[in-house]
Structure 1
Amino acid sequence: MDVPSKILSKGGSAVDAAIATLLCEGVMLPHSMGVGGGFVATIYCKETGKIETLIARETAPAASDEKMFINKKITGALAVAIPSEIYGYWCLHAKYGKLPWKVLFEPTIELCFKGIKVSKYLADILKLYCDRIRSEPSMVEIFINPNTDELYKEGEIMYRPKLGETLKIVAEEGPGVIYNGGRVGKKLVQDIQEMGGIVTESDLRNYEVRWEDTVKVQFKHGYTLHTTPLPTSGVVLAFILNVMEPMYTKNESVFWHRMIETFKHAYGHRTLLGDIHFEPHVSETYENMLDPSFAAKSRELILDDHTYIDFAHYGANFTNEEDRGTANIAILAPNGDAIAVTSTVNSHFGSKVRSRQTGIILNDEMDDFSTPGVINAYGIPSSPSNYIKPGKRPLSSTCPSIVLDHNGNVKLMVGGAGGSRITTSVAQVIIRYLMLNHTLQESLDAGRVHHQLAPMQVDVEPEVPEHVNNYLLKVGHDINYLGGDKAYSALTAIGLKTEMPQAACDRRRLGSWKIIFPDV
């Protein structure tokens, strides 16, 4: 189902196409995203030159507190933060939409009732969570084939009628049926609370999105990166590019060592970040990470023949959680407007529970916060800047980005899924495509490295050259060699080095693309 093409061909805007596509992705990839989650977006209007971000990420319920998960598992309905996806779509559409709201829902409603063909990717994820799905009746209803009593397999047809009914109501009546005391919201809250959650109708009513300025970084050839602000990791991406731009060398091994060291510094500073609207003290770190002089000082700490194993050397003293169930889309309209969106339910299948009355699979975004006194698997304490507070948004690794040239033309749109690896993967694609002049597909397909400081090891994909690995070992890196079956960050991108746009999907995960050109 070529949803974005159909929406654009009807005269829809880039935002219209994005909303319709995200709705469909939510039923095609229910483990990654859906209307029970939240998203962040970077939006560009070519005519006005305005570029901004919408933060429609989930927030902590009013009844939450920083100690609520001490000695408790962060899963099930208690882990559900306030779902924000639909309200975010509404706000996007109100500002940038052209087609009627209900038209954007039609393709997904049709899928829910006529059936969704299960992809290999979804079938494989279902297998991984077989026991969890079978132990939760609300998930059994949609992921166990009633004809075989087995998990749906690749090529089989899966149905989501209850979700289809909910989307019909939202399409006809708007988001008030969820967020303003309407019948869908009442059912959703009732289900969450009966399963042990704390989201209330008041939480839904009080939810607000945030429109923010983008994080901006200028680099060579007149390019300007626009990406998302806190609580996303756009500032981490900006810091990486600021540090790396003057560090290119033809010595490939040294270059990638410098890249890894930059990642370590970036993730060290990231541990000091959080929702700036609740933790104003993080503004100092935030501003430093955007300051070229701060980047220069970080470069001085990077040695070509040595690495360090001391967390404090990289400015860190704790760590944060990461998103795992995530999806990214990029839409470029014929008129030059663009939108990059990253949406998530956090873990695969979110909280692993579903509202049976509405059909909505619920996020587990509360797991993205830190909990006092809880030491993670790597022996690193939790992050006070990311502790739970009512109404607060947890830190995220997402960073949907748009790069413009000096004339305001889109040169690159990129974002991805894959937890804490998202930011380093996006950085490597930008560097390969715009700084090293690789093709877009080469930039996505090339072997990647990743270091998030904790654990103190560098993840290396099989495609990274052996001589690079040997050099990394020589200077002291502990290498974790990723096998071909290991999940890695998967990106989507659109590039425009010439007048002919290119689109590319990551080889690491199922994806598709299509570009619609105006009639000539």
Structure 2
Amino acid sequence: MKRRQFLLAAPATGAFTFSSYATPRAASDATPAQAGSPPSEPPLSSTIYSGDRLAGSPFASRSVVWGMSGAAATSHPRASLVAIDILRAGGSAIDAAIAANATLGVVEPTANGIGGDAFCLLWDPAQKKVVGLNGSGHSPAALSLETLRARSKNDRVPFLGAAAVTVPGAVDAWWTLHQRYGKLPWKDLMTPAADIAEEGMPISLMIADRMKRDMAWFLSPDSGVEETENIQKIYMTRGRTPVEGEIVRNPDLARTLRLIGEGGRDAYYDGPIADTIEAYFKRIGGWMTRADLAAQHAEWVEPNHVDYRDGVSVYGMPPNSQGPATLQMLSILKNFDMRDAGLMSARSIHLQAEAKRLAFEDRARYIADPDFADIPIETLLSDEYGQKRAELIRPDRPMERAFPGDAPHKGGTTYLTVSDADGMMVSLIQSNYAGMGSGLMADGLGFGLQNRGAGFSLQEDSPNIYAPRKRPFHTIIPGFALKDGAPWLAFGVMGGGMQPQGQTQIILNMVDYDLDLQAAGDCPRWRHDGSSQPTGVYTPGLGTLKLETGVPETTKALLAKMGWTVGGTDGGFGGYQATMNTGESYGAASEMRKDGLALGY
């Protein structure tokens, strides 16, 4: 069913108005009524739109959720409930985030799990600052560049199978966060997820759809996945993947989570789970070892940030994360009067998409593991550089091609957010990379292993070229923003290269266009495809500017007239969650593109 569409006028004054409308049937669709028979009716599914809201933005799916003592927003209702239960039991926002993330690995295995990586930004009320943790894993020590190239397809790292697997960093990241900020016993954080895995949980609509597609991909003859019996045993118990409402149980994962609850981080990285993973890769001809797992340690990092406008400072993870891409886009866009451009206007989307193209060329040129590359991050995020890049944008048509700037050195993801009564706000993102990951599941453990190694390049001139014990370029990025120096917004938008584009749209929607926390996520989105990639893939030409159904038709037509290649909706516009601190209460939002839920208390 289509969502309500809206028109938005953007006169020179910068004021704008909303009006909802339903698309009328074309005259050619009409069928004359035959004598003596009732008139035929149009297919209702093509003409029904969402109901009217009496307050707020007409395209919002619901109101912002409010609470005084805490709030949580995740991409699955059960995980949000677990987070609130942990807060009510006296846990910190970190405790609640860990328990919710563990639960998401059970109920949403198409996006995350303990076989993947994690990144976190949080407001530490004791230090009164934003703190970052990089929980991404390294490539196996035994896998050489030469071997990987011999396994490559079209000069790319294989997307599935053992060659794409890097060390999972999520559990170690949870453990590291809990050691500093946890209040409840570690075991208590694994118990809810383990219970759900054992008892079972009805699968929701979006997750069932993604699981069906991912499993078909893994089982295709040319997938390159060395072994699929283990993952089929969990998710194809009926001879097919489950459909919406059918119960999925995972007793293997329940046992694994209880083992982690009892033994902590070492049970995974330097104990029985590590032994099982090593034996599995030996059996299928892979490279991961217990030594690779034991060497994994999350890293506390200093977040990057840019000052946008109206007292809002936006924070992002430093490389190997693509966090700087969001910040570069905002650094470029603050040189334009985006409020005057108008929400959903052709001018606004044109400026944002051009900023994306410029930032993504720098992303492809510079972002990699900082242990292996000299990254000019200060220059890339400076006001001077942002202004120079902004000067390349033409107001009437897109650039024929965007290039990286000269920046010499000066010196399938899930997102969740939880805030607590002590003022801590957590922004955590965790992923298998592409949906369910590599297609591999170690014997008897019940969780899939990520394919994050597919983020490496095989090109000699790339700072992101593969090497043993190196972290790949990472797409997952938590978002955070301060307002006038105080914690304001913990937010994220899932979806690979959509993440910086989506985060930028959220900030503009709230800062420049005065949308509330929920409407900022429900507002129709744009996405540009076709930039150069850190994997070494170069796509010549302008690329495609894809627009969701709700973008006004007049805007689509004007963008096409400007010279953009405009594409339609394809479902790849991310998934958003957020919590917001007003100073006296917390707001929470979870958008309609996912199966999620926001709760406050």
TM-score by length of 1: 0.90
Matches of 1:44 and 1:497, distance apart in 2: 14
Tell me the amino acid that sits aligned with residue 399 of structure 2. Y
Q: Matched residue of 1:514: which SS?
A: strand
More displaced 10-residue stretch of structure 1: 39-48 or 494-503? 494-503
Pairwise CA distance, 1:150: 2.9
Give secondary structure in 1 for the equivalent of 2:567.
strand
Matched-pair contact (CA < 8 Å) for 1:267–1:452 = no
Structure 1's 178 and 500: CA in aligned 2 closer, same or farther, altered over 3 A? Answer: closer
Give the whole-Å Cα distance in 1 for the aligned partners of 2:517 and 2:337.
19
Whether 1:416 aligns to 2:493 is: yes
Residue 441 of structure 2 is aligned to residue 362 of structure 1: no
SS of 2:196's partner is: helix
- Which of 194, 204, 213 is residue 109 of structure 1 equivalent to? 194
Structure 2 residue corresponding to 1:237, chosen from 319, 323, 326: 326
Aligned to 1:272: 365
In the other structure, the counterpart of 2:91 is 12
Deviations 1:59-92 (A, max 9, x none): 1111223343335333212321111111111101
Conservation of the 8 A alpha-carbon contact between 1:64 and 1:388: no
Specify which of 132, 143, 148 is matched with residue 64 of structure 1: 143
Structure-2 separation of matches of 1:507 and 1:269: 32
| Residue 221 (structure 1) aligned to one of 272, 289, 310 | 310
The residue number in structure 2 matching 1:46 is 125
Specify the alignment match of 1:321 in structure 2: none
Which residue is equivalent to 1:202?
291
Confirm or deny that 1:254 pairs with 2:347.
yes
Shift of 1:502: 2.2
* 1:177 paired to 2:270: no
1:265 Cα deviation after fit: 0.5
Structure 1 residues 392 and 130: alpha-carbon distance in aligned structure 2, compared to 1, 3 A threshold: closer
Structure 1 CA distance, aligned partners of 2:440 and 2:194?
21
Structure 2 SS opposite 1:298: helix
Partner SS state of residue 281, structure 2: helix
- Within the alignment, does 1:445 sit opposite 2:522 as a pair? yes
Structure 1: how far apart are the matches of 2:459 and 2:307?
38
Counterpart CA distance in 2 for 1:300 and 1:210 is: 37
- CA shift in 2, pair 1:187/1:258, >3 Å: same
Cα distance change of structure 1 residues 110 and 270 upon mapping to structure 2, 3 Å threshold: same
Q: Secondary structure at the match of 1:348?
A: coil
After superposition, what is the alpha-carbon deviation per residue over 1:433-474, rounded to whole angstroms, capped at 9, x for unaligned? 122211122211111112244352212111112222222222
Matches within 5 A, 1:107-186: 107-132=192-217, 136-145=228-237, 148-180=238-270, 182-186=271-275
Q: Quick check: 1:25 aligned with 2:112?
A: no
Partner residue, 2:62: none
- Higher RCO by CA contacts (8 Å cutoff, separation 6 or greater): 2
Q: Distance in 1 between matches of 2:146 and 2:464?
A: 12
Question: Could you tell me which amino acid in structure 1 is paired with residue 306 of structure 2?
Answer: V
Q: Which piece of structure 1 moves more, 430-439 or 293-302? A: 430-439
Q: 1:432 to 1:52 in 2, by over 3 A?
A: same
Task: Show structure 1 runs of 5+ residues with no match.
Answer: 317-324, 374-382
Given candidates 441, 460, 464, the residue that maps to 2:547 is: 460
> Could you say if the C-alpha distance between residues 474 and 504 of structure 1 is closer, same or farther in structure 2, counting changes exceeding 3 Å?
same
The verdict on how the C-alpha distance between 1:274 and 1:253 changes in structure 2, with shifts beyond 3 A counting, is: closer
Q: Which runs of structure 1 show a deviation greater than 4 angstroms over 4 or more consecutive aligned residues?
A: 132-135
Task: Report 1:321-400 matches (<5 A).
Answer: 325-372=412-459, 384-400=462-478
Map 1:93-104 onto structure 2 (within 5 A). Answer: 93-104=178-189
- Residue type matched to 1:265 in 2? L
Contact 2:95 2:182 in 1 (8 A): yes
Report deviation, 1:196: 2.3
| Paired residue type of 2:165 | V
Alpha-carbon deviation of 1:498? 6.6
What residue ranges of structure 2 are gaps of 5+ in the alignment? 1-77, 153-157, 221-227, 407-411, 532-538
| Deviation (angstroms), 1:248 | 2.0
Q: Verify: 1:406 aligned to 2:484, yes or no.
A: yes
Shift in Å at residue 487 of structure 1? 2.9
Letter of the 1:157 counterpart: I
Counterpart position of 1:296 = 387
Secondary structure of 2:597's counterpart equals: coil
Residue type matched to 2:447 in 1? I
- Report if aligned partners of 2:526, 2:573 keep a CA contact under 8 Å in 1: no
Match of residue 88 from structure 1: 173
Quote the Cα distance in structure 1 between the aligned partners of 2:367 and 2:140: 17
Output the CA distance in 1 between the equivalents of 2:315 and 2:216: 42
Name the SS of the counterpart of 2:118 in structure 1: strand
Q: State the match for 2:160 in structure 1.
A: 75
Other structure's SS at 1:216 match: strand
**How far apart, in 2, do the equivalents of 1:124 and 1:363 lie?**
19
Letter in 2 for 1:54: L
- Flag the 1:506–1:273 CA change in 2: closer, same or farther, 3 A: farther
Task: Check the 8 A contact 2:111/2:434 in 1, yes or no.
Answer: yes
Query: Aligned pairs, how many?
Result: 490
Name the SS of the counterpart of 2:413 in structure 1: strand
8 Å CA contact retained: 1:244, 1:262: yes
1:341 Cα deviation after fit: 0.7
| Partner secondary structure for residue 598 of structure 2 | coil
Distance 2:229 2:476 in 1: 31
Cα deviations across residues 161-194 of structure 1 (Å, max 9, x unaligned)? Answer: 11111111111111212222x1221012111231
Q: Provide the residue aligned with 1:380 in structure 2.
A: none
Counterpart-to-counterpart distance in 1, 2:369 and 2:453:
17
Rounded to whole Å, the distance in 2 between the matches of 1:170 and 1:153 is 30
Q: Which moved more, 1:471-480 or 1:16-25?
A: 471-480
Q: Is this contact kept in 1: 2:316–2:479, CA < 8 A?
A: yes
Q: Distance in 1 between matches of 2:300 and 2:503?
A: 23
Shift in alpha-carbon separation, 1:407–1:371, aligned structure 2, 3 A: closer
C-alpha contact 1:398 1:415 (8 A) present in aligned 2:
no
Task: Report the residue type matching 1:141 in the other structure.
Answer: K
More helix as a share of residues: 1
CA distance in 1, matches of 2:378, 2:251: 48
Contact 2:369–2:472 (CA under 8 A) maintained in structure 1: no
Q: Write the distance in 2 (CA, Å) between the matches of 1:294 and 1:216.
A: 14
**Deviation larger for 267-276 or 447-456:** 447-456
Could you tell me the TM-score, scaled by structure 2's length? 0.78
Partner SS, residue 36 of structure 1: coil
Q: Counterpart of 1:447 in 2: which secondary structure?
A: coil
**Conservation of the 8 A alpha-carbon contact between 1:273 and 1:395:** no
Cα distance in 1 for residues equivalent to 2:209 and 2:527:
24
Contact 2:458 2:466 (8 Å CA) reproduced: yes
CA distance in 2, matches of 1:438, 1:311: 31
Larger CA Rg, structure 1 vs 2: 2
Question: Is 2:583 aligned against 1:492?
Answer: no
- Code of the residue aligned with 2:496 in structure 1: it is G
SS in 2 for 1:68: helix
SS in 2 for 1:61: coil
In the TM superposition, residue 226 of structure 1 has moved relative to its aligned partner by 2.0
Per the TM alignment, residue 293 of structure 1 is displaced from its structure 2 partner at its CA by: 0.3
Q: Percent identity?
A: 25
